[in-house]
Each structure stands twice: as C-alpha cells, then as structure tokens.
Structure 1
Amino acid sequence: MVPPSHTAPPFVRLAAHPLRWQLLTALARSDLRVRELVSLLAQPQNLVSYHLRLLRDGGLVTATRSSFDGRDSYYHLDLDSCAHALAGTGAALHPALQLGSTPPAPPVHPPRTVLFVCTGNSARSPIAEAQLRRLTAGHVQVTSAGTRPRPQLHPHAVRVLRDHFGVDVASRHPRHPRHLDTLTGRRFDYVITLCDKAREVCPDFGNPAGQLHWSIPDPAAAGTRDDYPAFLQVAADIDTRVRHLLPVLATDPQETKP
C-alpha cells in the first residue's frame, strides 16, 4: 500500500489561507493596485503585501509597473498558472481528477455587450475587439475606443492579427480609431480598460459592476521600428485574457461577477 502524502500540493497551501483566497478572487475579476486591495479587503497594507509576495513567489500572481504612475504596480492573476496548478492538485489526489481543457462557453441570448478601451485605440483595444469577435463568432457585441485615438490602426497590430490569428482587420473591418466620447449614452455589460492611463479617465457607462481592468503595456511605447516582438507579446497576453473571459460572458452579469 502506498502511504498517504503528508504534504499538500503548493496550490492548496497557497489558496487555503483565507486572506490569500480573498486576494485570488479579487484579482480574478480585475487587475488591481495594492492600495485598492487594502481598501477592498480592509486589511493592513503590510499584511496584503506579504501575502501578495507569497502568491507571486508561487507563480500565481504577477505584477507590472503602472504606465500611469511609475511608482505604482498592478497585480494580475495568472489564470493559466492557476489552471495548471489546479490540474496538478487534482492529479495528486487521484488520477481520475486530472482536469482537462474545457471548450469555449456557448453563446448566450441576448448577446453580451463588451467595450475595450485604451488610449490610442490603435493597438491593444482593437486587438482585443478582433480576438473576442473571432472567438465568439460574432455572438458578442464588441467594440473598442480610445480616450485619445490615434489617426489610424498601428501597422504592427494589423500585421500580428493577420499573421498569427488569421484576422484581417484592414479589409474586413476598415475604420479609423474611435473616440470614447462617441459612445456616450451607450450601456455595456462589461467595459474593459487595457491601459492604466485610460482607466483613470474612463467613465463607468452606468454599470460600475461591469468595469474591469487589464494592465497591459503599450507595445508602441518604445517608438522604434523593431518593436514588433512587443506587439506579439501583447497580442498573446490579450488572447489569453480574452479566452478566460469567455466563461464570464456566459453568465448573467447581474448575478455573477467575473
């Protein structure tokens, strides 16, 4: 007989702590700063920072420097790492509990409405718009806009969507970047900011519960001609986040928060 293990898998040891579980569930909804987590959980900053460090060391949480205030950081729950950790946890208990991949969430009626917002509406938000439209076959009403839109889509954004995801935004959805002001009065189930600067000025469109934030750096920030790898990295990050958004869109936003 194989003796039982006396050590729980790392995910169990990390997530079982009540405060760390609260941090995980808060970050599962949106990227947040330390002071926002402190306010949300009503816990001292040094305690929140300590447990965030443990979650980062465990590979479940990452942090990125804010592009709005370089002295601040946004914390992000790495859902892919959580999925791998959960799969390993189930397998450690019994082989029958090995988790497999789940299919995309089915479309719902009426269709969810989603708005992606960044500053220029030339790279991050149109990439997210195109990816969500592709993955849901048009079953989600999705649009994107910028707080200070650029004159046109960034050519690297057009290229990465075409070459790596098979989406030709230049020919299928020809348009100039859209200003956020043109959507005044519209209501969306979810408004997702992908830019730390845009988050500071984005209105809630009458639904603050559906306001989410993805802290994603501007791939064009370097302003160099050889910044295409940055666009590849950002597009891959957005693709992962959009895929994890699909099950959220299959729930009733009035009953279940992401």
Structure 2
Amino acid sequence: MVPPSQAAPPFVRMAAHPLRWRLLTELAGSDYRVRELTERVGEPQNLVSYHLRLLRGDGLVTSRRSSFDGRDAYYHLDLDRCAQALTATGVALHPALHLGPRPPSAMTARRPGRVRVLFLCTGNSSRSPIAEALLRHRSSDGRVEVTSAGSHPKQHIHPDAIRVLHEEYGIDIAGRRTRHLDTVADHRFDYVITLCDKVREVCPDFGDDSRLIHWSIADPATTSADQDTYPAFARVAVELDTRIRHLLSVFAATTPGG
C-alpha cells in the first residue's frame, strides 16, 4: 500500500485517465453538451456521462441547464480551479515548482497583428456588451478589436450592465447602442463567442477562419421584476472577466486559424 504522503495528488489521479483528459481538453476550449462531447471524443454517452460526473464531483467541471432546451445541460471547465490544482500538484512534487500568476503583459505580447472578436447573445443588452467592454478594457494595448451583437437586440443596454461596469471596473458604456447580428454577419472575425444557448442555435457561419466558442452563461436580467438584478449582473461580470483573462492567454499562445 502506498503511504498517503507518497500518493499522487488528486488532480493527477483525476486527469491521468485518458478519457477524462480528453474531456478536460475539449472543455478547455468551449462549453459543450453531453452529446457533443460524445461526438468529439468518440465514446458512448453513458461512459462520457460517468466521467463527467467524476469531474464534477472533483469540482473541476460544472454544469448548467440550457436556456434553449431545459432537457440539455452545458458543461464548463473551471480553469481557475484547474490552475489551483496544478499549483498544488507542483508543490507536492517540489516546493520550487510553485506556479505563480502569469504577468498580464505577457498575455498579448507574442501576438502579431490584431485579433478580431465578436461576442453574441440574444438581446445585446446584458452579457455581450459587458463582455465587449471587459475585453476591450483588458486588452487596452489595441491588439484586440472587439464588438458585440444580438439576434434580437433590445432597444437599450440594461441599466445594471452600465452600472456594474462603471462601479466595479471603472468602465463607462453609457450611450452605447445595441447592435443586430445582421450588421456584422458579413464581417471577418478570428473568434466568435456565443454567450447564450439560444443565440448559439442561430449563429451564422462566419467562415473557416473563425473559431467558434460557446460560453453558456445565464441571463442576469431574468430575475423577477420585484427583485434587484444588480447582484446577478455582478456575478455575470465576474464570470465573464475570469473567462476573458483565460482567453487573453489563448491569444498569446495561438494565431487565428492555428
């Protein structure tokens, strides 16, 4: 029997399984439903579901019911949790292997040219304008060109989207207008990121050069009319900011179409 002090750390044991590692690598790039993961890894759905359940139990993967079809669920890899687990794994092997945070300046320094990013949601009033503003804020060196649109845009940006960006991040989007998906359908983008499950179903083809990514994020504006929606907007902004930080690392390491 291996003494507890010599046993492999939990992340190593969890990720060492070949199928679980494939699921982790697929979910590192986008949120997916079970049937999509089944197709991507070429394994039976019951086997994929079993290993997803183990990853969820370990806290590496989360799931959320689809807003397009409540019978479906989207699975999401918690990259921050993975980073913490990898750091603990390195320290368990040797203290010198502690992984520190990556310097923000390194995230875009290697990227030649500009990266064009499109965020999409249904109303272009909550999630996508927040994502657009946060990515522009995080990539203020001008290497990223970002816009957002909606399949059925609302007339105005939600007041709490404007408020959370101003109060929590010092970003002013007051006066910004919503944009229809049709106005950007013939543009070229390196990354097209859908933020709601409904718009993913109607997202047009932007060509082979565009990388399609899905982030399944609940609409913060769906809170009951008699409830304060600001806390929901604050949570969504934190989730988007976290995902955007990881996206910037992808920009630093890859090239469009690579």
Across the two proteins, how many residue pairs are aligned to each other?
Answer: 250
How far apart are residue 149 of structure 1 and its match?
Answer: 0.2
How far apart are residue 208 of structure 1 and its match?
Answer: 6.7
What is the aligned counterpart of 2:240 among 238, 248, 251? 238
Contact 1:189 1:207 in 2 (8 A): no
The answer to whether the aligner puts 1:67 opposite 2:67 as a matched pair is: yes
- Alignment partners' CA distance in 2, 1:46 and 1:4: 32
In the other structure, the counterpart of 1:216 is 217
Contact 1:131 1:239 in 2 (8 A): yes
Q: Secondary structure at the match of 1:247?
A: helix
Contact 1:133 1:139 in 2 (8 A): no
Aligned alpha-carbon RMSD (Å): 1.3
In the other structure, the counterpart of 1:39 is 39
- Structure 1: tracts of 5 or more residues without a match: none
In the other structure, the counterpart of 2:160 is 156
The answer to whether the aligner puts 1:133 opposite 2:114 as a matched pair is: no
The answer to whether the aligner puts 1:187 opposite 2:164 as a matched pair is: no
- Structure 2: tracts of 5 or more residues without a match: none
How far apart are residue 87 of structure 1 and its match?
Answer: 0.4
TM-score, length basis structure 2: 0.94
- Alignment partners' CA distance in 2, 1:47 and 1:243: 32
TM-score, length basis structure 1: 0.94
What is the aligned counterpart of 1:248 among 233, 247, 250? 250
- 1:86-165 map, 5 Å: 86-104=86-104, 105-107=107-109, 108-137=111-140, 138-165=142-169
How far apart are residue 223 of structure 1 and its match?
Answer: 4.2
- Alignment partners' CA distance in 2, 1:209 and 1:55: 30
In the other structure, the counterpart of 1:81 is 81
Identity %: 64
- Alignment partners' CA distance in 1, 2:191 and 2:48: 27
1:159-208 deviations in Å (ceiling 9; x for gaps): 000000110111xxx33100000012111000000000000000131137
Contact 2:148 2:179 in 1 (8 A): yes
Return 223-232 or 82-91, whichever deviates more: 223-232
In the other structure, the counterpart of 1:203 is 204
1:115-157 deviations in Å (ceiling 9; x for gaps): 0000000010000000000001032000000000000100000
